[in-house]
Structure 1
C-alpha cells in the first residue's frame, strides 16, 4: 500500500465482495457511502445496497478517539469495518480498501469478473502532517476541468488533501472575474508558447489559452470536497502579472505589454495607484466568494522592483509611506492580508513575502531551500515545505537525454522519497504544517505530460507527508512496483523505471540540465537575499 500505513496486521482468510454484499453507514457517513458505491460499483458490479452489519457486509463507523483523518480497517472472512476519527478518516480508510482489492477494481468499468477478494487484515493509520499537497500550475499551460477532476481523484487515492491551483501568471490568467472581463478575453490567451528551455528562444507558433468560469470552479471545489481535498487558489500579485497588464495596461507602470510568450520572469509589476489596489481587492473578494479554503494564495514571489524604482508615482508613494520603493511589495502584501482578514481568511505566499516582513498569521510556502523554511518557522509563521531541489516535479528525472525537455537538476523518485519536510534548526517543528510537490507546467503542455512528470514521484511525496519519518527505500521500491498496476488501471501515463517510452520524449523541446551544484548556487543567492531583506 502507498502511503505506508502505521500498522498492518494480517490474519488468515479473505473476504469476498459480491453483488449481495450490503453497506451499513450511519447518516453522517452517507456521502462516503455514496462515493464508495459510485467508485466500486461500476468496475466490480458490487453496488453495496443498504443493509445491516451482521455478516457479509461493509460497515462504516465513526470514533472520534481515533483523531482527525485517522482510520482503522478491519477485514475478517465475514465482514469489513472501516472506522474513522471523522468522515475524512473514513474516506482514507476506503481508499486503503481500494488498494487491498485487485487493480481492476480501480477501473471505471468491468474488465474482469472477479473474485473481488480482500485479505483478512487490520490496518491502523493516521497522517503525520495536516497539509499534504500538490500545486498545479494551470497558468503556463491550461488544464481543462476534466483533467483537474482526474488529478483530484489521484491525489485522494494517495491521501493527499490539498490541491494548490496556480491560476495566474505572466503567461496567462485562468479565472473569470466579472468586474474585469478582459482578464479572460485578453489575458487568458497567447499566440504562441516557448518550446523547451528559454535559453534556446524557440517557439511552437501555436495559440494557447483557456480559463475557468465561476461554475467550473464551483464544480472543482465541490468534487474535491467530496474527496476531502481542499482547493487552495493562488492569484500571483503584485509581480507575475503581465497577463493582467495585457488586459488592463493602466494598472501597470507605463508600458503596454502583451501576454508573455516566453517562460521566465516578467519585469512588469502592478503600479501603486489606488486603482491598482482596488483591482486587487476586487479580485481577492471574487476568489473568496468562489473558494471556501481558509487560506488564499497571493503569490508574492519573484517580484522585480525596477519599475517602482524608476516610476515617479511609485517613488512618491513610497516617500509618502515613509518606505523605500523596494519595500512596496511588503506594502502590497499588507493590503492583500487586510482584504483576506476581512473575509476570515489567511494569506498564503511564497517565502519572498518574508522580505520586508510578512503579515502576522501568513502561511509561508518555503521554496528556497531548508534555510527559508527554518527562517519562516522561527519567525513565528506556519510553513508548507516545498524546496525546489526536492519537490519541483518539472525537474528532469534522470540523465537520460530522452527525458522530455530536461531542465533543472536531476530529481529521482528516490530523491523525493528522501525529502524531510522539517529542516534542521527549527525551534518548533509544529510550525512545519506539511509539504507539497509543485508541478510547474512550462514544459508540460497537456495532462499526459503532467502524468509523466508527476508519477511516480508524487507517490513518494505522498508517503513522505503521510507516513512516519522513518523510511525504508527498498521497502518503498517493492511496494511501488506493486502500485504500478493500480496506476495502469487508472490510466496514468507515469514514467516507467526503465525510462521514457518513445512517445513520452519531446526531441523538439530542448532542455537545460543543471548539476546539483549549479542549482544550489542559484538557490544560495536567492536565500541570501531573503535573509538580508527579511
Structure 2
C-alpha cells in the first residue's frame, strides 16, 4: 500500500488503494453546492498558495457533496484518474475529508507559499471514515500566559488539521483576566495585567520581575469564533467562578472579602474568591450574558474548580446567605452558587460546563462535566446521569513533562509520554452501556503556567496531540508500534506547517529552561493525591 495511506493521521476507518492517481493542476476545477461554499472557500485558500492551483468553480476535478446517508462527521474520499470526490454526512464531514486530501498530497503543499512546481499527484484510493466520539477537544489556557489572536488562530488550524472539533478557551484565572465585559473596564485595565511572573514551579519561588498581560476585545473573540466555525470547531468559553477569581477581585475589590492587592503573580490556587452577595452574583450573570452574546456554543464554562472556602467561613455576607437559603454551612455555598448560574444560562438557552468539583453536593441537571481529577470523576459523573468529557490529568495534561530527560523544559507533573497519551481511552472500564453513552468524548488540556509563547506550546503539545487525536477519532483497539511507524511521515507535515514539535529523540539543548526549574512528580504520588482530592465525590450529599 502507498506510504501516504499508512501515514494518515488520525488513521481512517477504511483505506483501499485503487489503480492510478489524479494530478492536481492549475486548471483543476472545484465543484461544490451552495451548502458547501464555505468548505470550498477554505480548501481553495488552504491549497492555492503552495500549489498554485486556484481551483476555480467548474465541473470535474474535485467534487464536494453532502450525502445524508453518511454519519454527520463521516466522509468518503474517492481518488481516481478522472477526479476526486469527497462526500460527507454534513459540511463538517466534507471538511474532514478535505483535511485527509491535504495529507495525501506532499508536505510541500502545506506551506504558505510555493517552494516547488509539482506535479501534485494524489494516489488512487477509496477512504471511508467517521469518528468514534462527538467531542474531540483541546483546552487552551490563555489566562496564565496571554496568547495573541494570530497565535490562537494558528492553534485552531492545527487542531482542525487533526480533526479535533472543540476548542475550550480558559479565559480567566487568578493570574489574569482576558476578556472585555461591558461596563466593567477595570477587568482589563487592572485584571488583565500582573506585575511579575513566576519562573518555573512554585516550589522554587522565583520571579522574572517583568509585567505580563493582554486581553481580547469582543471583536477579537468574534474573529476566533468565526474562524473556528469555518473549520468546524466549536469554541467553548470558560470564565472560572467563584474560585480562581483574584484577577477580578483585584479589579473590583467589592466582589471579594477585603482583598485590595494586585493580580496574582504566583502559580497555584488563590484563597481570594468571590463573595456570595447579590452584587457578585449579578456580576457573574453580566459576564455570562456577555459570553452568550459572543459565543454560540450551547455550553458555557463556569470553571467551578479549586474554590477554597476559607474566606467564606469568616464572611458575614456568606453566613447571611447560608441563613437565608437554609444551607448547612459554607461547604454548600458553591453548589447553591453553581445552581444559580445554571438557571441563568438555561434562561439563555444554554447549558453549564464545569470542572468535576461541581459534582460535590450535586451538579445542576443538564450540566456537562469536564472530569480532570483522574478517572474516578468520569465514572461518578456518568453514573450520576451527567454527560461528561474525560480529561484526566494522569493521561491528557500536555503541560506535563514528556520524559525523565533533564533537558525537558520546566518538567512538572507526572511523566506523560507519547505512548501514554496514545493509550488513553475516554470510557473507563466498568461503565454500563447507558453510562458509557454519557461520555461525550475527551479533551487534552494545555495549561500555560510554564508555556510563555506559541513556540513553547508547540513543544509541549506536539506530537502528543497527534496521538490524542487518533485516540479520540478511531477505535478503542490501537497499536502504538504501528502509530509510531507512521509518525515520521506526519512530522514532515508538521515541519511544513512550521510546528516546533518535540523531537522523538528527545529535547534539544536549546529547549531547556534552566532559569525556570520544574518539580517532577511520580504517578504513584499523584494517584494518592487524586484519591484524597476526590473524597468529596465519595461523601454523601448533606
Match of 1:467 in 2: 474
State the distance in 2 between where 1:495 and 1:255 align.
42
Contact 2:250 2:259 in 1 (8 A): no
Alignment of 1:203 with 2:210, yes or no, is no
Matching residue within 489, 492, 498 for 2:496: 489
Alignment of 1:188 with 2:192, yes or no, is yes
Match of 1:237 in 2: 241
Matching residue within 126, 135, 139 for 1:135: 139
Matching residue within 454, 458, 468 for 2:465: 458
Matching residue within 68, 77, 80 for 2:81: 77
Shift of the alpha carbon at 1:115? 1.4
Contact 1:355 1:533 in 2 (8 A): no
Matches within 5 A, 1:245-260: 245-260=249-264
Matching residue within 441, 444, 448 for 1:441: 448
Match of 1:164 in 2: 168
Matching residue within 483, 487, 491 for 1:480: 487
Show CA shifts across 1:264-304 (max 9, x none).
Answer: 00011111111000000001000100100110000000000
Matches within 5 A, 1:242-321: 242-321=246-325
Match of 2:28 in 1: 21
State the distance in 2 between where 1:224 and 1:119 align.
30
Question: TM-score, normalized by length of structure 1?
Answer: 0.99
Contact 2:390 2:442 in 1 (8 A): yes
Match of 1:9 in 2: 16
Matches within 5 A, 1:59-74: 59-74=63-78
Mean Cα displacement is larger for which, 486-495 or 419-428? 419-428
Listed as ranges, the gaps of 5+ residues in structure 1 are: none
Listed as ranges, the gaps of 5+ residues in structure 2 are: 1-7
Matches within 5 A, 1:18-97: 18-53=25-60, 57-97=61-101
SS of the aligned residue for 1:4 comes to coil
SS of the aligned residue for 1:65 comes to coil
Matching residue within 500, 506, 512 for 1:505: 512
SS of the aligned residue for 2:227 comes to helix
Show CA shifts across 1:207-226 (max 9, x none).
Answer: 10000000000100000000
SS of the aligned residue for 1:66 comes to coil
Match of 2:427 in 1: 422
Show CA shifts across 1:331-387 (max 9, x none).
Answer: 110111011101100000000001111000000000011111000000000000000
Aligned pair count reads: 531
Match of 2:3 in 1: none
SS of the aligned residue for 2:437 comes to helix
SS of the aligned residue for 1:443 comes to coil
Show CA shifts across 1:160-211 (max 9, x none).
Answer: 0000000000000000001211000000000110000000000011110000
State the distance in 1 between where 2:390 and 2:16 align.
32
Shift of the alpha carbon at 1:533? 5.7
State the distance in 2 between where 1:326 and 1:529 align.
10
Matching residue within 395, 401, 404 for 1:396: 401
State the distance in 2 between where 1:210 and 1:380 align.
39
State the distance in 2 between where 1:435 and 1:74 align.
30
State the distance in 1 between where 2:540 and 2:35 align.
50
SS of the aligned residue for 1:120 comes to strand
Show CA shifts across 1:103-130 (max 9, x none).
Answer: 0111111111111111100000001000
Shift of the alpha carbon at 1:529? 2.5
State the distance in 2 between where 1:78 and 1:408 align.
53
Contact 2:14 2:127 in 1 (8 A): yes
Match of 2:521 in 1: 514
State the distance in 1 between where 2:202 and 2:118 align.
51
State the distance in 1 between where 2:257 and 2:468 align.
41
Shift of the alpha carbon at 1:12? 2.0
Matching residue within 404, 409, 412 for 1:407: 412
SS of the aligned residue for 1:307 comes to helix
State the distance in 2 between where 1:328 and 1:309 align.
10
Match of 1:334 in 2: 339
Show CA shifts across 1:403-437 (max 9, x none).
Answer: 00000110011000000100123232110000000
Shift of the alpha carbon at 1:507? 1.1
State the distance in 2 between where 1:474 and 1:113 align.
35
State the distance in 2 between where 1:257 and 1:418 align.
45
Matching residue within 524, 527, 531 for 1:524: 531
State the distance in 2 between where 1:258 and 1:190 align.
7
State the distance in 1 between where 2:42 and 2:320 align.
57
Match of 1:110 in 2: 114
Match of 2:5 in 1: none
SS of the aligned residue for 1:236 comes to coil
